[in-house]
Structure 1
Amino acid sequence: MSSPRTSGPGRLIIAVYAVFVIGSASRAAVQISTRWHEAPLAYGLSAFAAAVYVLATVSLCISGPRAWWVSLCAISTELVGVLAVGLWSVLSPESFPDDTVWSGFGRGYLYVPLVLPVAGLWWLWRTRPWLSSR
């Protein structure tokens, strides 16, 4: 039996997270391995974003209350990261000589990084484990 989090809109949310795992991890790997000295803050934040996306994707795919809480923490961290890095990159662009996934609130990714955690948190709320069986 599948988890309620992996059905309906949850499938799309997980698929988008998986795409962001691939995109952000590959971007961070290339940036760190070839140009770390140019923008270590930006590239380090790209790697952190990739790790958050991995954790969110995996935990969303697992059923049970513990996985739900891990998802909640990962997606909440993502939202705080997008808002903090987005604001920081707008107010202090000189701190970011190169973009991260979260720069400009995800401008380089059509603002999906800003919308995705909101959708993820909404879906988690709808599938919270203490709801009665469906």
Structure 2
Amino acid sequence: MPEAARATSSGPGRVLIAVYGVFALSATARAGVQIATRFGEAPVPYLLSALAGVVYILATIGLAGHGPAARRLAWGAVVFELVGVLAVGTLTVFDSGDFPDDTVWSGYGRGYGFVPLVLPLIGLWWLRHTRAR
């Protein structure tokens, strides 16, 4: 008999959700302040920070939720996050001129201790670990 999927919000998943929640708040707040006060200086980085904040919010909701729809939301958000941090990180390493100010994903999350690079890998592992078997 197949085993049902474990809740992503159980056990260590609670810590993962808390970290995503902190990043959702910090990225969204930082982007809001930057957009409101200095948008003209670096619109692309500030909009990317806002996008990262939205992605972290969606990942938090998906990981904290229950059922197949929440799991799909979590998968989509975490995969998007990984692609985003890799793409933006690579762009900022090779062409930092377009990014005069850091985003959450700049330099693969260098300004945040590389947590933005490691977090989606842990998130994907957790989603796979808790899947139905």
**TM-based fold match above 0.5:** yes
**Equivalent of 1:13, from 5, 13, 16?**
16
The DSSP-based 3-state class of the residue aligned with 1:5 is coil
Measured after TM superposition, the shift of residue 9 of structure 1 is 1.3
**Equivalent of 2:101, from 89, 98, 102?**
98
Partner amino acid for 1:70?
L
**Equivalent of 2:123, from 100, 120, 123?**
120
TM superposition score normalised by structure 2: 0.94
1:62 corresponds to 2:83: no
Q: Percent identity?
A: 56
Gaps of 5+ in 2: 1-5
Measured after TM superposition, the shift of residue 111 of structure 1 is 0.2
Measured after TM superposition, the shift of residue 59 of structure 1 is 1.0
Measured after TM superposition, the shift of residue 86 of structure 1 is 0.3
Measured after TM superposition, the shift of residue 65 of structure 1 is 1.0
Q: Deviations over 1:78-133 (max 9, x none)?
A: 000000000000000001010000000000000000000000000000112x33xx
Distance 2:7 2:44 in 1: 38
Distance 1:62 1:100 in 2: 28
1:77 corresponds to 2:80: yes
Deviates more, 1:31-40 or 1:57-66: 57-66
The DSSP-based 3-state class of the residue aligned with 1:4 is coil
Gaps of 5+ in 1: none
Deviates more, 1:75-84 or 1:57-66: 57-66
1:88 corresponds to 2:91: yes
The DSSP-based 3-state class of the residue aligned with 2:62 is helix
Partner amino acid for 1:11?
R
The DSSP-based 3-state class of the residue aligned with 1:86 is helix
Give the number of equivalent residue pairs. Answer: 128
Partner amino acid for 1:10?
G
Measured after TM superposition, the shift of residue 22 of structure 1 is 1.1
Measured after TM superposition, the shift of residue 17 of structure 1 is 0.2
Moved over 2 A (4+): none
